[in-house]
Chain A
Amino acid sequence: MSVGEVDVLVGVPTYNNAKTIGQTVQAIRVGLLKYFPRERAVIVNADGGSKDTTREVVAAASINDLQRSSDLYSLRTLPCISTVYANSPATEVALRTTLAAAELLRAKACAIVSPESTNIAPDWIEHLLRPVYRDDFDLITPVYRRHKFDGLLLRNLIYPMTRALYAKRIREPYAVEFAFSGRFCSHLLEMQIWDQEAGGIGTEMRMSVTAIAGGFRLYQSFLGTKPHLDRTSADLVTAMRQTVGTLFWSLEPNFQYWSAKHETEAVPTSGSECDLSVEPIRVNRKRLYELFRSGVAELEPVLKSILSAQTLADVQTIAKLPEDNFKYPHELWVKTAYEFAASYYKSVISRDHIIQALAPLYRGKVFTFLMENRDASANDVEANVEALCVTFERLKPYLLDLWNARE
């Protein structure tokens, strides 16, 4: 389709999202019409070969006229390009396809929106694109209103560790909604990260780290409520590969950057930097406790090759605690995470096995988090997370010692 040069581009990666994609595309259209009425805009749908009616729904949502009003009227044609990328469906491939389209169309500002964000509002488009298009930032990551027990991996590991090591307080370093500038897009494509180890997965995490280490301008935009998605146990390992594995992997090529950083910096943010809701959601705490204990026992030979003797002993000690008294202290957890990171760097065993081995220990930490914050207010939860972050920052020299010792 001959779209030509555009000012803003919104990408929506899909694979079998027929149930939700219609409202997503409509919300994007409304957002573009309302907040960027004069700009040359395009919607790019990179589809992984959906077996359902996803592509038809996308086309129908794009063609349907919105009710005409002075708020919604578009001066320009708003094209929607739907393309099926080669190879099996994968987020990274969809993202690379979108980045390539953005560069081809010389887009100044690009946003990526998840097809599963059922609560997407048109103003998300403005919150994501405005900092890039009008204020010249390079990477916009979102801030969501989350339930206090949502985003556990993020709160207990990814956020505090990324913050401590890379010295930027990015709440969602691996978001599914984000925005970037044309120049950052070109930079990513030039880096050829897609063919490297861990470049095939965890791309969103890679982007954040690349932006930080590359000196690009970062911004955070508050988008609203993040719908809670139920995840299975198998999902956890996959998620950890994409996030923790990517984070660990990034430490080697970016060593010079993060090793020199000592003070963390806030990232400019619009709206609340942290917004927690306290409505109850179901979490199977008992199962977490049991999986932790069984994991520690069953994986002892593996853990011996990853953890220091002291740390392993401390972990085995808490594994013997009864459920009511169980606690995985911040300091022990941070040491655990840093020792895993150092072992990953040295590849003491298969890196994928290292990530898998971390999963049960993570579950123990999450159990502690849930118990400690069971009746906590939103402010108390945030204070707890902040305390964990401070511990990661304080023990950063510990990781550096491990790293240098492994050298």
Chain B
Amino acid sequence: MILTQDPLWYKDAIIYQVHVRTFRDSNGDGIGDFRGLAEKLDYLQELGITALWLMPFFPSPLRDDGYDISDYRSVHPSYGTLDDFKSFLTAAHERGIRVIVEMVLNHTSDQHPWFQESRSSRDNPRRDWYVWSDTDDRYHGVRIIFLDTETSNWARDPISNSYYWHRFFSHQPDLNYDNPAVREEMWSVMQFWLEIGVDGFRLDAVPYLVEREGTSCENLPETHAVLKELRSKLDQHFPGKMLLAEANQWPADLRPYFANGDEFHMAFHFPLMPRMFMGVKLEDRKPIIDILQQTPAIPDSSQWCLFLRNHDELTLEMVTDIERDYMYDSYAGEKAMRLNLGIRRRLAPLLDNDRRRVELMTGMLMSLPGTPIIYYGDEIGMGDNIHLGDRNGVRTPMQWDGGWNAGFSSADPESLYSPLILDPVYGYPAVNVYSQKRAGHSLLAWMERIIKTRKSNQVFGRGSIEFLHPANYRVLAYVRQLKTETVLVVNNLSSSAQAVELDLRRYKGNILVEMFGRNIFPRVGDLPYLLTMGPYQFFWFRLRRI
């Protein structure tokens, strides 16, 4: 299969997020690796995804699951070699699957040679590669992100007897982007991977690149200047490659990351995600519509990335206090489920393992404007383990079958990088790919179908959106349009049956063709279009004039 040359390929993509460590262990050491990931590319191709987002796989002391990088130009030996990666990349491309690599620009591990040099002496050539200070008074008032573990954004280094700046863990010192040498080196790192053939980067923690006194040290103009510089070089030397921003900000603050189509190609829509969960729990479309109506227009070449869950806690940073309290009460009744300002649970447990709600949420993920991301394991409804530390409870081994180590690894179970999920509801004997492959009604089979249906029409990835406002606020309805293609999406957010009357007069004369079964619904007339919907049911209709 040949990858499309469409420069806007990312708008039609279905992205699958995975950590190579979690997916498949090929050599029996208990840790997933690239050879194992390559073995499972056929599975991913059958699922229908078109891009893989790989979490950091670089050498690292793994104190933050690989987000603390100690060598940017290699592969962690637990995951294989650089050649293994290249083989995997080739195999992915052969199956029409692009590969997006995570690149942590903001900070390194304190074990990185750069930092070791920087801290060794105030005169070291790399001293200025990090942000140093003789006191911890600078940038006073800047918020702490990892609230549960850090008490300051400054850490004292006993070796150089000074403080260094870190927006995340104290073992992750921030790079100094005011230093041209840093900017040049990080471009060189990206260039290295682009020349190998990767299709894009998910740039981690981009709002925090540059600091200035008297500011929040987030989203500064100087940060955008750095990012634009990277984008310019990317377009010049590697056209068709993509940059995805990880910026957990309000929509208005996210907009600058698209600039005039000359900064990021894509950005995560963080504020939408918790509001989707809220809407379903409240049985009210208001939170979803409110945030999308606040979302500014973005350049035609830009794209939002939508997701339900990921490797981190379900972040509640970009919600109001009332909304946060509601989310905690509704979705994280036990304190162990809460971390930092979020909820560390997987999709299925969050939705009480209710198949209907999982389908509804996935349906919205696939039909709202943006590129959807599926977190590994959510396609089969994997569970979590809230008793593992940090965010590790949502990063357990992929469950392939009901046999030895869930088919993940041939190693002794005690040597796995993480315990498997074992409880009777979500444990691997109950939830695994093999079982679901054999059942036509399984969640996995359904996911394959919805992905296929989504890919059948570019309107989902490229079309406009207009919300309808039926009187029944338990129903979220919107029209997606791209040129002559019109799709009506109707979602019942309620746990009970609902009737809804839609004002479709402008589409009078059209018939509605339900997209999954391709059955024809009545023609639109002058009267409100009546639909009756079961609990959590949703419809996708193509409007056709015949």
Q: Are B286 and A75 in contact (CB under 8 A)?
A: yes
Q: Are A2 and B471 in contact (CB under 8 A)?
A: yes
Which residues of A sit under 8 angstroms from B285, Cβ to Cβ?
77
Asked whether B25 is an interface residue with its Cβ less than 8 Å from the other chain, the reply is: no
Cα distance, A74 to B286, chains bound together (Å): 9
Q: Are A70 and B320 in contact (CB under 8 A)?
A: yes
Cα distance, A1 to B470, chains bound together (Å): 9
State which of A2, A70, A76, A77 has its C-beta within 8 Å of the C-beta of B321.
A70
Map CB proximity to A onto B275-288 as digits: 1 under 8 Å, 0 otherwise: 00010001011110
Map CB proximity to A onto B487-499 as digits: 1 under 8 Å, 0 otherwise: 0000000100011
Residues of B contacting A: mostly: mixed
What is the distance, in angstroms, from A74's C-beta to the closest C-beta of chain B? 7
Which residues of B sit under 8 angstroms from A73, Cβ to Cβ?
320, 322-323
What is the distance, in angstroms, from B446's C-beta to the closest C-beta of chain A? 28
Map CB proximity to A onto B466-505 as digits: 1 under 8 Å, 0 otherwise: 0000011110000000000000000000100011100000
Which residues of B sit under 8 angstroms from A38, Cβ to Cβ?
322, 326
Which residues of B sit under 8 angstroms from A76, Cβ to Cβ?
282, 284, 286
What is the distance, in angstroms, from A42's C-beta to the closest C-beta of chain B? 11
Cα distance, A69 to B83, chains bound together (Å): 54
Please provide the chain A residues from 60 to 102 with a CB less than 8 Å away from any CB of chain B in the complex: 70, 73-77, 79
Asked whether A37 is an interface residue with its Cβ less than 8 Å from the other chain, the reply is: yes
Total contacts A-B at CB 8 Å: 36
Map CB proximity to B onto A1-34 as digits: 1 under 8 Å, 0 otherwise: 1101000000000000000000000000000000
Q: Are B472 and A2 in contact (CB under 8 A)?
A: yes
Q: Are A77 and B322 in contact (CB under 8 A)?
A: no
Which residues of A sit under 8 angstroms from B278, Cβ to Cβ?
75
What is the distance, in angstroms, from B501's C-beta to the closest C-beta of chain A? 8
Closest to A81 in B: B471
Which residues of A sit under 8 angstroms from B473, Cβ to Cβ?
77, 79
Q: Are B323 and A75 in contact (CB under 8 A)?
A: yes
Q: Are A37 and B471 in contact (CB under 8 A)?
A: no
What is the distance, in angstroms, from A94's C-beta to the closest C-beta of chain B? 23
Q: Are A77 and B284 in contact (CB under 8 A)?
A: yes
Map CB proximity to B onto A42-67 as digits: 1 under 8 Å, 0 otherwise: 00000000000000000000000000
State which of B286, B320, B326 has its C-beta within 8 Å of the C-beta of A77.
B286
Which residues of B sit under 8 angstroms from A79, Cβ to Cβ?
473
Cα distance, A4 to B287, chains bound together (Å): 18
Which residues of A sit under 8 angstroms from B474, Cβ to Cβ?
2, 4
Map CB proximity to B onto A373-406 as digits: 1 under 8 Å, 0 otherwise: 0000000000000000000000000000000000
What is the distance, in angstroms, from B319's C-beta to the closest C-beta of chain A? 10
Closest to B499 in A: A2
Residues of A contacting B: mostly: loop
Please provide the chain A residues from 154 to 199 with a CB less than 8 Å away from any CB of chain B in the complex: none
Cα distance, A222 to B278, chains bound together (Å): 35
Cα distance, A253 to B324, chains bound together (Å): 53
Q: Are B320 and A1 in contact (CB under 8 A)?
A: no
Cα distance, A2 to B530, chains bound together (Å): 13
Please provide the chain B residues from 271 to 300 with a CB less than 8 Å away from any CB of chain A in the complex: 278, 282, 284-287
What is the distance, in angstroms, from B295's C-beta to the closest C-beta of chain A? 15
Map CB proximity to A onto B320-360 as digits: 1 under 8 Å, 0 otherwise: 11110010000000000000000000000000000000000
| Max chain B C-beta neighbours (<10 A), residue from A70, A75, A76, A79 | A75
Closest to A69 in B: B320
Which residues of A sit under 8 angstroms from B326, Cβ to Cβ?
38, 75
Cα distance, A74 to B278, chains bound together (Å): 12
Cα distance, A37 to B322, chains bound together (Å): 8
What is the distance, in angstroms, from B545's C-beta to the closest C-beta of chain A? 30
Cα distance, A79 to B474, chains bound together (Å): 12
Cα distance, A1 to B321, chains bound together (Å): 31
Closest to B325 in A: A38
Which residues of A sit under 8 angstroms from B499, Cβ to Cβ?
2
What is the distance, in angstroms, from A134's C-beta to the closest C-beta of chain B? 16
Cα distance, A79 to B285, chains bound together (Å): 13
Cα distance, A260 to B322, chains bound together (Å): 50
Cα distance, A75 to B282, chains bound together (Å): 8
Cα distance, A277 to B380, chains bound together (Å): 69
Cα distance, A77 to B287, chains bound together (Å): 9
Map CB proximity to A onto B139-150 as digits: 1 under 8 Å, 0 otherwise: 000000000000
What is the distance, in angstroms, from B332's C-beta to the closest C-beta of chain A? 16
| Max chain A C-beta neighbours (<10 A), residue from B322, B498, B500 | B322
What is the distance, in angstroms, from B531's C-beta to the closest C-beta of chain A? 12
What is the distance, in angstroms, from B97's C-beta to the closest C-beta of chain A? 40
Cα distance, A74 to B285, chains bound together (Å): 12
Which residues of A sit under 8 angstroms from B323, Cβ to Cβ?
73, 75
Cα distance, A76 to B278, chains bound together (Å): 10
Which residues of A sit under 8 angstroms from B500, Cβ to Cβ?
2
Which residues of B sit under 8 angstroms from A70, Cβ to Cβ?
320-322
What is the distance, in angstroms, from B114's C-beta to the closest C-beta of chain A? 42
Cα distance, A4 to B284, chains bound together (Å): 11
What is the distance, in angstroms, from A199's C-beta to the closest C-beta of chain B? 34
| Max chain A C-beta neighbours (<10 A), residue from B284, B326, B498 | B284
What is the distance, in angstroms, from B316's C-beta to the closest C-beta of chain A? 14
Cα distance, A38 to B328, chains bound together (Å): 13
Closest to B323 in A: A75
Which residues of B sit under 8 angstroms from A75, Cβ to Cβ?
278, 282, 284, 286-287, 322-323, 326
Which residues of B sit under 8 angstroms from A1, Cβ to Cβ?
471
Cα distance, A1 to B471, chains bound together (Å): 6
Cα distance, A68 to B441, chains bound together (Å): 45
Which residues of A sit under 8 angstroms from B320, Cβ to Cβ?
70, 73
Which residues of B sit under 8 angstroms from A2, Cβ to Cβ?
471-472, 474, 498-500
Closest to A73 in B: B320
Cα distance, A75 to B473, chains bound together (Å): 12
Cα distance, A76 to B280, chains bound together (Å): 11
Closest to A5 in B: B496
Cα distance, A38 to B285, chains bound together (Å): 14
Cα distance, A124 to B217, chains bound together (Å): 43
Closest to A33 in B: B322
Closest to A2 in B: B472
Which residues of B sit under 8 angstroms from A74, Cβ to Cβ?
286
| Max chain B C-beta neighbours (<10 A), residue from A1, A37, A74, A77 | A77
Which residues of A sit under 8 angstroms from B471, Cβ to Cβ?
1-2
Closest to B329 in A: A38
Cα distance, A74 to B473, chains bound together (Å): 14
What is the distance, in angstroms, from B462's C-beta to the closest C-beta of chain A? 30
Which residues of A sit under 8 angstroms from B284, Cβ to Cβ?
75-77
Cα distance, A2 to B501, chains bound together (Å): 10
Closest to A77 in B: B473
Closest to A76 in B: B284
Closest to B275 in A: A75
Cα distance, A105 to B278, chains bound together (Å): 23
What is the distance, in angstroms, from B329's C-beta to the closest C-beta of chain A? 9
Which residues of A sit under 8 angstroms from B498, Cβ to Cβ?
2
Cα distance, A37 to B329, chains bound together (Å): 14
Closest to B494 in A: A4
Cα distance, A37 to B278, chains bound together (Å): 13
Cα distance, A80 to B68, chains bound together (Å): 53
Please provide the chain B residues from 195 to 210 with a CB less than 8 Å away from any CB of chain A in the complex: none
Cα distance, A2 to B499, chains bound together (Å): 8
Cα distance, A76 to B320, chains bound together (Å): 14
Cα distance, A293 to B322, chains bound together (Å): 63
Extra inter-chain contacts (11) besides given A2-B498, A77-B285, A77-B286, CB under 8 Å: A1-B471, A2-B471, A2-B472, A2-B500, A4-B494, A70-B321, A73-B322, A73-B323, A74-B286, A75-B284, A76-B282
What are some 28 contacts across the A-B interface (CB < 8 A)?
A: A1-B471, A2-B472, A2-B474, A2-B498, A2-B499, A2-B500, A4-B474, A4-B494, A37-B322, A38-B322, A38-B326, A70-B321, A73-B320, A73-B322, A73-B323, A74-B286, A75-B278, A75-B282, A75-B284, A75-B286, A75-B322, A75-B323, A75-B326, A76-B284, A77-B284, A77-B285, A77-B286, A77-B473
The 9 lowest CB-CB distance pairs between A and B, nearest first, are A77-B473, A2-B472, A76-B284, A77-B286, A1-B471, A70-B320, A70-B321, A73-B320, A37-B322
